[in-house]
Amino acid sequence: MLFPYGEWVILCLTFVTWVENRASRRFFFLLTITWLIGKSLEVVFPESTLWHWHFARLAVMLVFWVWALRRSERRILPFLFTSFMLSLETLFLVNDPGVIPYGAWLFTGALVLTAWLTAKSYWGTAAAFTGSIMLNQALIRFTNEGLVRHMDFPEAFIWNFGVGLFALGAGLRLGWQYYLARKKLKTTAEHLLPANGVGAYEHPEERELQ
């Protein structure tokens, strides 16, 4: 994945939220500023080893993890379970690489499923997934040096998959809630307001990203 899909998703969401004056515009603007700060660190401190640290992506993941952690109800158990799942994946890939076709997709799907089942909420899943990924990347760096000749931190697949997954998940979740809320609002106000007099409705969960 040479194309920076994750960066473009965040940038586009930043523009859309500001153009539509959404409450979540500050959240995406914060992620964009964080990415720029991390990118400046990559320019000031260029990586000279085979272990390539993407400071911009790591900074965004760190901010997103803290944001999600503050809004999640279950924090410890989801983090522990997803970290354990990632450790199993790392051990399996180091010992038997290429045995399972599309192993990266299968293990990542199992990781997301584990985070979702243990956290049982959007922000809890996001916190468990992002936190366990950062911990696993650090452990790989310090335990597999000498075994792995080259590694990106974070891995491009995990970065792009994570951004796309949580952006799509949040969009579908908010879209469904908007639909239910507007349908209820239209039903209750149908006899009071004309069809073109119902204003735009913004779900309270959109304002969580302020």
**What are the tens digits of pLDDT across the range 86-142?**
888 877 776 766 667 777 788 888 889 999 999 989 999 999 999 999 998 888 777
More confident residue, 62 or 148: 62
Domain-embedded: residue 59: yes
Domain-embedded: residue 200: no
Give phi and psi for 120, each to the nearest 5: 60, 30
Return the ∠ at Cα 122 (arms to 64 and 16), rounded to 5°.
60
Q: How far is residue 199 from each of residues 21, 97, 114, 131, 194, measured CA to CA in Å?
A: 15, 56, 40, 39, 11
For residue 125, the one-letter residue type is T
Domain-embedded: residue 106: yes
Domain-embedded: residue 196: no
Domain-embedded: residue 110: yes
pLDDT surpassing 60 at residue 31: yes
For residue 150, the one-letter residue type is H
Domains contained in the chain, number: 1
Domain-embedded: residue 194: no
Residues of 130-140 as b/e, b for ≥16 C-beta within 10 angstroms? bbbbbebbeeb
Domain that holds residue 155: 5-185
In terms of C-beta density within 10 A (0-12 exposed, 13-18 middle, 19 or more buried), how is residue 167 classed?
Answer: middle
Query: Using 50, 70 and 90 to split pLDDT, how confident is the model at 176?
Result: confident
Domain-embedded: residue 198: no
Say if residues 127 and 119 touch (Cβ distance below 8 Å).
yes
Domain-embedded: residue 26: yes
